[in-house]
Chain A
Amino acid sequence: AQTVTQSQPEMSVQEAETVTLSCTYDTSENNYYLFWYKQPPSRQMILVIRQEAYKQQNATENRFSVNFQKAAKSFSLKISDSQLGDTAMYFCAFMKLPNTGNQFYFGTGTSLTVIP
């Protein structure tokens, strides 16, 4: 079975500063994807960034980047130049490959508040 652990239930950051959200996972699989999803108060889960396990290079999307440590099974999210609109719940997710159905596993989330 796969498990995803987010050990920080709540975090806060000053606007324009940088914050890092932690995620660890446990799996015996070698091929998988990792995701960070954002869930604002509207409840809609929005994909922030995705990392393929076979790629050593860390994924980057504008102000969002990850630190993927496959051996340590760690997948942290760094948000640079934090903006008020980044305030949301952030979920780390694991997807087993090949994905033919229910192979998505989510962590319990980190509530991020950006302080003006």
Chain B
Amino acid sequence: GAGVSQSPRYKVAKRGQDVALRCDPISGHVSLFWYQQALGQGPEFLTYFQNEAQLDKSGLPSDRFFAERPEGSVSTLKIQRTQQEDSAVYLCASNKGRLNEKLFFGSGTQLSVL
């Protein structure tokens, strides 16, 4: 596609619900990143994929967070048993995986946990 696409744009969940956030990267981009952006903060790294391999998940805040990219394109970030502190904007970014290349970002999913 022309850009990184994320859905839904907004998600409201009751505490304890599971949510799934989708990222569709730019076609041909092998690297995919998930970031969490709390209100008034900069994006913070969650996890990184190269094709279908999850090479780094050191930023995932708890075992309630799970990400996958089974076919090396679309990725899903799943949050189980959501808590209020999970409320944030979740940004997805991708690039071709070449060293030093900039990131292309989506518009994010704003998650509100009530």
Contacts and interface: CB of A to CB of B under 8 A. Distances in A.
Contacts, number: 62
A109 B40 CA distance: 8
Given A107-B42, A108-B42, A109-B41, A50 B48 contact: no
Given A44-B105, A108-B40, A102 B99 contact: no
Contacts of A47: 102-103
Interface in A58-76: none
A43 B107 contact: yes
B59 interface: yes
B33 A102 contact: yes
B58 interface: yes
Interface of A: 4, 9, 33, 35, 37, 42-47, 50, 91, 93, 95, 97-102, 104, 106-109
Contact of A106 (B44, B48, B59, B108): B44
